[in-house]
C-alpha cells in the first residue's frame, strides 16, 4: 500500500500572531494538538539566537504566569479541546537584528512525540 504525503495529518499545529517581533510587543502563540494518543501536555521553548537574553512568558489560556520561566509547559488538563494560547514578550533593546527560534513539542511520559519550529525576526 502506498502512502502519500497528503495522507498524513499533522498532530501539532503551531502559529504565531507575527514573525516580526519588536521590543515590548506582545507575542501571541496558538497551539492545536490532534495527536490521537495520550499525552501529558505541550512545552514551548524560545531561543534568541546570538544573544544571552530571554523571552518572558506572560500567560497561557488567559492565566497569568507569576514567575519568569525559560520554558513553558502547558498541561493537557488545562487545554480545552486540545487547544491553548500563550502570550510572551521580549524586553531588551536589540543592537542588531536577531532570529528567534520557537519550538513547541508534544510531551508524553517525559518523551517528545512531535515538535514544530517557527523562526521569527526580532528588531527595533
Domains within the chain, CATH numbers bracketed: 12-122 (2.60.40.2410)
Hey, which bits of 2-110 come out as E strands? 12-16, 20-21, 27-33, 41-48, 56-60, 63-64, 71-75, 83-89, 98-108
Residue 98 pLDDT exceeds 60: yes
Residue 4 has pLDDT above 80, yes or no: no
Cβ-based neighbour number of residue 72 at 10 Å: 22
User: How many residues are recorded in the chain?
Assistant: 124
29-51 pLDDT per residue, tens: 999 999 999 999 999 999 999 99
The pLDDT of residue 3 is above 90: no
pLDDT at position 70 over 90: no
Q: Chain-wide mean pLDDT for the chain?
A: 92
Amino acid at each position: 500500500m502506498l502512502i502519500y504525503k497528503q495522507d498524513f495529518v499533522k498532530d501539532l499545529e503551531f502559529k504565531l500572531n507575527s514573525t516580526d517581533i519588536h521590543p515590548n510587543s506582545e507575542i501571541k502563540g496558538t497551539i492545536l494538538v490532534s495527536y490521537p494518543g495520550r499525552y501529558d501536555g505541550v512545552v514551548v521553548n524560545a531561543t534568541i539566537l546570538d544573544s544571552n537574553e530571554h523571552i518572558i512568558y506572560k500567560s497561557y489560556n488567559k492565566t497569568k504566569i507569576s514567575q519568569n520561566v525559560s520554558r513553558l509547559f502547558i498541561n493537557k488538563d488545562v487545554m480545552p479541546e486540545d487547544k491553548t494560547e500563550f502570550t510572551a514578550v521580549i524586553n531588551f533593546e536589540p543592537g542588531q537584528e536577531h532570529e528567534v527560534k520557537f519550538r513547541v513539542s508534544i510531551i508524553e511520559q517525559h518523551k517528545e512525540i512531535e515538535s514544530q519550529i517557527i523562526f521569527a525576526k526580532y528588531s527595533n
